[in-house]
Amino acid sequence: MTLEIDDKFKEECGVFGVIDFSKEFNCSELTYYGLYALQHRGQQSCGIAVYLEDKIKYFKEVGIVNEVFNEDLLNELKGSLSIGHVRYATSGQNLSINAQPFIIANEEKKFAIAHNGHILN
């Protein structure tokens, strides 16, 4: 058996999440550092969504993590659960509407979702 290694630079999106059962930490801050460490996986856009007291707050924008987020914004995004995403665009334009996490809702619940890959309809 041989292992072939492709020497071409390839990366995909980065997804990072935090759950704080103790509710003592600012999950958005921990997610920021996780996304910063994953920045090499996508530089087009980034976003963080947090959950606290049955509400989802989020912010996403075109740009890299340390340019999009600052301390004041992370303090506004306090929560006990978080999901973050850095985007490496393989389809779609580099617009803030394509930044993740996506917030979707049905009649009963709201969800924050981030993924790596394509979701086709």
Using one digit for the tens of pLDDT, what is the confidence trace for 58-114? 999 999 999 999 999 999 999 999 999 999 887 788 888 899 999 999 999 999 999
Q: Flag whether 39 is in a domain.
A: yes
13 within some domain: no
Residues in CB range of 65: below 8 A, 6 or more apart: 32, 35, 36, 39, 46, 86
Catalytic center residues = 13
* Residue 89 belongs to a domain: no
* Angstrom distance (rounded) from CA 67 to CA 46: 10
Q: Do 37 and 84 touch, CB atoms closer than 8 A? A: no
What is the residue range of 36's domain?
Answer: 22-64
- The answer, yes or no, to whether residue 42 has pLDDT greater than 60, is yes
Total domains present in the chain: 1
Question: Is residue 58 situated within a structural domain?
Answer: yes
